[in-house]
């Protein structure tokens, strides 16, 4: 009952948060960015052309009415039409979310599990050769730009060796699998470095707590201490780290989708940026904000499952 009251309270608190997010988004796109008709028509546009376009796009209405449109879209998911393609934005999002998730979700799950296992391994062998080698590899991997990985693997594994498709996407299972393997591998490689370093740090911080020294003094071996006690008590920061990344999976992987011609939300955002398509960019900003709010609520609930001592009030 307390948990239900907490979540109802949090849901009510999200309303002013969402209104504030909508205000920030409105100010960024309508005030800070200036007149979008300049960007769309170019420098040589006449005042009459700009006025006609402003009226066509509804930009000549009172600013408060335009702000209410942003608020309405956040609660109804009716984002209107794209300036560039004239398509319904909600339909564009629905079409793009499947390719994005077929790429990001499996890669995220694999990279998280593998990184956690590797983090436990290097924490167990802390200070040894395994720990040093893995840390050096992680740092070197993180030092290489993501674009370098994409170009190198496309050239070597796809073009030269022909093991994978260079680009493209085919809807429907299992037709899309050949197209997501190579970008998925790149995602995993890019994720392992920061993930392993985080998991290692969290586990090592817990290993030096007083209760761990007490457990060792009682004669428990290192494996039992690590898996039975330490990992259990590191679940809170691990859950926070993992769940907070989930909203960004929905938005897709911008560079990967762009270079591999995957028609996901990452490519949609990039196309909107190139075409100054403000309605699409506003829609993606609103959706990302809503996703972060929802997953923060999920994180709180997972805390209670990971540690019964956590009470939601």
Same domain, 134 and 244: yes
Q: Which residue has the higher pLDDT, 89 or 54?
A: 89
What's the chain's average pLDDT?
83
**Is 169 within a domain?**
yes
Same domain, 274 and 125: yes
Q: How far apart are the C-alpha atoms of 148 and 190, rounded to whole Å?
A: 11
pLDDT at 109: 92
pLDDT band of residue 34 (cuts 50, 70, 90) is low
Cα dihedral sign for 28, 32, 35, 41?
Answer: negative
Query: 154 and 235 in contact (C-beta within 8 Å)?
Result: no
Q: How far apart are the C-alpha atoms of 225 and 207, rounded to whole Å?
A: 9
Same domain, 282 and 186: yes
Same domain, 65 and 116: no
Same domain, 212 and 246: yes
* Tally of structural domains, the chain: 2
pLDDT tens for residues 173-210? 888 898 899 999 999 998 898 999 899 888 888 877 77
Q: How far apart are the C-alpha atoms of 257 and 169, rounded to whole Å?
A: 10
**Is 238 within a domain?**
yes
Q: Mark which of 22, 42, 76 sits at the end of a domain.
A: 76
CATH number where 299 lies: 1.10.3720.10
Same domain, 20 and 70: yes
pLDDT at 42: 67
For the chain, percent of residues with pLDDT exceeding 70: 93
Q: Does the N-terminal peptide bond of residue 174 adopt cis geometry, omega within 30 degrees of 0?
A: yes
Same domain, 65 and 190: no
Angle, CA of 208, 214 and 220, to the nearest 5°: 100
Same domain, 254 and 126: yes
Asked whether residue 138 carries a pLDDT value surpassing 80, the answer given is: yes
Q: 88: which strand partners?
A: 81
Angle of helix 177-207 versus helix 235-243 axis, rounded to 10: 150
Same domain, 66 and 112: no
Neighbour-count burial of 180, counting CB atoms closer than 10 A to its CB (0-12 exposed, 13-18 middle, 19+ buried):
buried
**Is 82 within a domain?**
no
* Containing structural domain, residue 269: 95-306
For the chain, percent of residues with pLDDT exceeding 90: 7
Same domain, 143 and 267: yes
Query: 122 and 263 in contact (C-beta within 8 Å)?
Result: no
**Is 130 within a domain?**
yes
pLDDT at 174: 85
pLDDT at 113: 92
pLDDT tens for residues 225-278? 777 778 778 888 888 888 888 888 877 678 888 888 888 888 888 888 888 788
**Is 198 within a domain?**
yes
Same domain, 100 and 69: no
pLDDT band of residue 48 (cuts 50, 70, 90) is confident
Q: What is the pTM of this model?
A: 0.82
Same domain, 156 and 57: no
**Is 312 within a domain?**
no
């Amino acid at each position: 009952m307390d948990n239900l009251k907490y979540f109802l309270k949090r849901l009510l608190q999200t309303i002013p948060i969402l209104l504030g997010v909508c205000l920030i988004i409105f100010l960024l796109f309508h005030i800070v960015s200036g007149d979008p008709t300049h960007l769309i028509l170019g420098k040589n546009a006449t005042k009459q052309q700009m006025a006609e376009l402003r009226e066509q796009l509804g930009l000549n209405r009172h600013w408060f009415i335009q702000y209410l449109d942003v608020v309405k879209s956040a609660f109804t998911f009716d984002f209107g039409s794209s300036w560039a393609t004239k398509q319904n934005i909600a339909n564009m999002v629905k079409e793009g979310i499947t390719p994005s998730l077929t790429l990001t979700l499996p890669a995220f799950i694999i990279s998280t599990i593998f990184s956690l296992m590797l983090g436990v391994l290097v924490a167990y062998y802390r200070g040894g050769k395994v720990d040093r080698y893995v840390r050096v590899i992680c740092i070197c991997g993180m030092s290489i730009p993501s674009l370098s990985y994409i170009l190198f693997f496309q050239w070597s594994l796809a073009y030269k060796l022909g093991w994978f498709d260079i680009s493209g996407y085919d809807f429907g299972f299992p037709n899309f699998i050949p197209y997501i393997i190579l970008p998925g591998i790149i995602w995993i490689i890019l994720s392992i470095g920061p993930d392993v370093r985080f998991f290692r740090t969290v586990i090592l911080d817990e290993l030096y707590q007083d209760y761990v020294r007490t457990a060792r003094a009682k004669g428990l071996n290192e494996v039992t201490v690590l898996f039975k006690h330490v990992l259990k008590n590191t679940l809170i920061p691990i859950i926070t780290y993992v769940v907070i990344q989930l909203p960004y999976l929905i938005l897709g992987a911008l560079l990967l989708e762009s270079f591999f011609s995957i028609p996901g939300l990452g490519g949609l955002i990039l196309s909107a940026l190139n075409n100054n398509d403000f309605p699409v960019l506003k829609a993606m900003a609103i959706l990302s904000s809503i996703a972060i709010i929802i997953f923060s609520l999920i994180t709180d609930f997972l805390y209670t499952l990971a540690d019964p001592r956590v009470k939601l009030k």
